[in-house]
């Protein structure tokens, strides 16, 4: 009897080898990641994709089983993150909470945010409120991990305990820590968005595509996170696979940008495309107008770009130093004012940002402002700015 018990502890009821246990662990954790990125994030939070009720409920059950997270709370906290991004009210902004806190204590910040029930009700509208949600998933959220622990021990013995422990920290580490922390601190940016979001790697595989965080902040409603040809979003692959067999329906994907040739003046199509691709337009201004001008000024003074423009200033020009400390922001402003050419470009940048400000409601007035901006840019005598304005006029959503 003792031998049987010891054998059960070592091998469980299925008796998998270590490679088999590793495979099961990877499948379980990947399903958990998909439950978060596909169901909680892209479907429930942003309404970018609808899943068949069977798929919906599988994801809801699996997230309850492996994370104990409540759909309404997760959705509300993430919507609040987008609505208050990089402010004191952002539930997990490294700018205000500190990268160390977000990276190491992301789960604690999540628990703190869920205690604000008024905000949960405000931002959590439209999430499931059926019998199972009211009587099982919400009131007994902690039952899921308990059930998973029993299942793991029964199937895999003591190795199942280790698997369970790793599963319990999987989402707190990768989602709450890595994506929410490093995804606003370190990485590359395709789009100069109004926040500090970054893409961690161009291959969104390990955490379901959530690595492409800057792309997501540029187009929050898009079901696809990859934006460049060399980027890969495994979550999007799963969505398209489910769509092919009738188990998913994509509701919105970020449209491609089309540039029409020989457009004499910006029109309503131009403005609509700019509002959709606002961050791409600002990224192109930084890349095609500002950076060439900085390089030209460096050459004219015989200096290297890194010597002419300190790295923190160069990266902060695109957002006028919004994320800098007050002393560094004053340094940036002095640096710009000492260079009339750069100062002129920054004024054009600021005026274009005002035209694209989403708080403005009069579209026809904004078209006129855009036309005036392009006319003045083309008459500026600054070649890079002239070329940029000529391209901008032809913007249209594909």
State the DSSP string of 149-210: HHHHHHHHSHHHHHHHHHHHHHHIIIIIIIIHHGGGTSSB-SS--SS---BS-SEETTTTTT
The pLDDT value recorded for residue 193 is 83
Please indicate, yes or no, whether residues 240 and 331 belong to a single structural domain of this protein.
Answer: no
* Residue 31, CA distances (Å) to 24, 26, 38 in order: 11, 8, 10
| Of 185, 214, 188, the residue nearest 92 (C-alpha) | 185
| Nearby residues of 290 by Cβ (< 8 Å), 6 or more positions away | 317, 318, 342, 345, 349
Q: Last residue of some domain: 208, 225, 250? A: 250
Q: Are residues 348 and 240 in the same domain?
A: no
H-helix or E-strand spanning residue 88: none
Which one of 223, 250, 277 terminates a domain? Answer: 250
205-221 per-residue burial string, b: 16 or more CB within 10 A, e: under 16: ebbbbbbbbbbbbbbbe
* 23: helix, strand or coil: helix
Is residue 296 located within the same domain as residue 390? yes
Q: Give the list of residues 6+ apart from residue 162 with CB closer than 8 angstroms, or none.
A: none
CA distances from 128 to 45, 72, 323 (A): 12, 8, 37
Q: How many CA atoms lie within 13 A of 238 on its CB side?
A: 22
Which residue range forms the structural domain that includes residue 218? 2-250
Sequence-distant (≥ 6) Cβ neighbours of residue 111 within 8 angstroms: none
Round to the nearest angstrom and report the end-to-end CA distance of the chain: 70
Q: What is the pLDDT of residue 367?
A: 92
Residues 59 and 199 in one domain: yes
Residue with tokens 């990768």: 174
52 and 168 belong to one structural domain: yes
Number of domains forming the structure of the chain? 2
Closest listed residue to residue 216, CA positions, set 185, 184, 261: 184
Q: Which residues of 290-302 are buried (b: 16+ CB within 10 A; e: fewer)?
A: bbebbeebbeeee
Residues 338-341: contacts with CB under 8 Å, at least 24 apart: 339/297, 341/293, 341/297, 341/382
Beta strands at 203-204 and 232-233: parallel, antiparallel or unpaired: parallel
24: which residues sit within 8 A by CB, 6+ positions away?
16, 156, 163
- Residues 233, 380, single domain; the answer is no
Q: Are residues 238 and 281 in the same domain?
A: no
* pLDDT attached to residue 320: 66
How many C-alpha atoms does 92 have within 13 Å on its Cβ side?
32
340-355 vs 363-378: helix crossing angle, rounded to 10: 160
Choose one of 199, 233, 250: the last residue of a domain. 250
Q: How many CB atoms are closer than 10 A to CB 261?
A: 8
Max intra-chain CA distance, the chain: 91
Q: What angle do CA 65, 41, 31 make, to 5 degrees?
A: 40
395 membership: H or E segment, kind and range: strand 395-397
Beta carbons of 320 and 364 less than 8 angstroms apart: no
48 and 191 fall within a common domain: yes
The whole-angstrom separation of Cα 335 and Cα 318 is 14
> And the tokens for 201?
């790697």
114 φ, ψ to 5°?
-70, -15
Q: How many CB atoms lie within 10 A of CB 247?
A: 16
d(CA 206, CA 164): 19
Task: Specify whether 287 is located in the same domain as 327.
Answer: yes
Q: For each of the chain's 398 residues, which pLDDT tens digit applies?
A: 666 656 656 677 888 889 999 999 999 999 999 999 999 999 999 999 999 999 999 999 999 999 999 999 999 999 999 999 988 899 998 888 888 889 888 889 999 999 999 999 999 999 999 999 999 999 999 999 999 999 999 999 899 999 999 999 999 999 988 999 999 988 999 998 888 899 999 999 989 999 999 999 999 999 999 999 999 999 999 999 999 999 999 999 999 899 998 899 999 999 999 999 999 999 999 999 998 988 888 888 777 777 777 766 666 777 666 666 777 778 778 888 888 888 999 999 989 988 887 665 688 889 999 999 999 999 999 999 999 999 999 999 87
pTM, two decimal places: 0.90
Per-residue pLDDT at 77 = 97
One domain for residues 227 and 295: no
Residues 236 and 348 in one domain: no
Same domain, 151 and 235: yes
């Amino acid at each position: 009897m003792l031998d049987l018990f010891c054998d059960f502890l070592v091998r469980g009821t299925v008796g998998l080898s270590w490679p088999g246990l590793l495979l099961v662990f990877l499948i379980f954790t990947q399903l958990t990641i998909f439950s978060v990125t596909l169901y909680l994030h892209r479907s429930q939070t942003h309404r970018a994709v609808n899943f068949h009720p069977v798929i919906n409920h599988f994801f809801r059950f699996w997230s309850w089983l492996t994370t104990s997270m409540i759909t309404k709370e997760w959705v509300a906290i993430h919507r609040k993150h987008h609505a208050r991004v990089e402010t004191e009210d952002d539930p997990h902004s490294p700018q205000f909470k500190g990268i160390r806190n977000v990276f190491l204590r992301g789960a604690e910040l999540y628990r703190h945010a869920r205690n604000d029930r008024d905000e949960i009700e405000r931002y959590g509208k439209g999430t499931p409120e059926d019998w199972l949600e009211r009587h099982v998933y919400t009131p007994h959220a902690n039952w899921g991990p308990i059930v998973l622990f029993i299942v793991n021990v029964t199937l895999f013995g003591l190795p199942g305990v280790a698997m369970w422990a790793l599963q319990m920290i999987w989402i707190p580490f990768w989602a709450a820590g890595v994506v929410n922390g490093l995804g606003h601190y370190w990485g590359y940016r395709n789009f100069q968005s109004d926040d500090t979001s970054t893409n961690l790697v161009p291959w969104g595989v390990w955490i379901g595509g959530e690595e492409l965080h800057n792309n997501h902040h540029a187009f929050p409603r898009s079901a696809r996170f990859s934006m460049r040809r060399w980027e890969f979003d495994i979550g999007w692959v799963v969505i398209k696979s489910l769509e092919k067999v009738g188990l998913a329906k994509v509701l919105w994907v970020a449209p491609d940008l089309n540039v029409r040739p020989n457009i004499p003046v910006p029109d309503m199509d131009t403005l609509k495309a700019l509002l959709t691709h606002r961050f791409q337009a600002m990224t192109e201004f930084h890349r095609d107008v500002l950076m060439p001008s900085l390089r030209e000024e460096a050459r004219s003074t015989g200096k290297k770009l890194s010597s002419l423009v300190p790295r923190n200033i160069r990266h902060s020009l695109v957002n006028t130093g919004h994320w800098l400390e007050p002393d560094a922001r004053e340094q940036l402003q002095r640096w710009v004012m000492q260079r009339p050419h750069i100062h002129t470009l920054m004024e054009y940048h600021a005026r274009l940002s005002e035209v694209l400000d989403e708080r403005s409601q009069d579209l026809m007035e904004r078209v006129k402002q855009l036309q005036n901006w392009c006319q003045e840019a083309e008459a500026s005598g600054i070649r890079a700015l002239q070329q940029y304005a000529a391209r901008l006029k032809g913007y249209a959503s594909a």
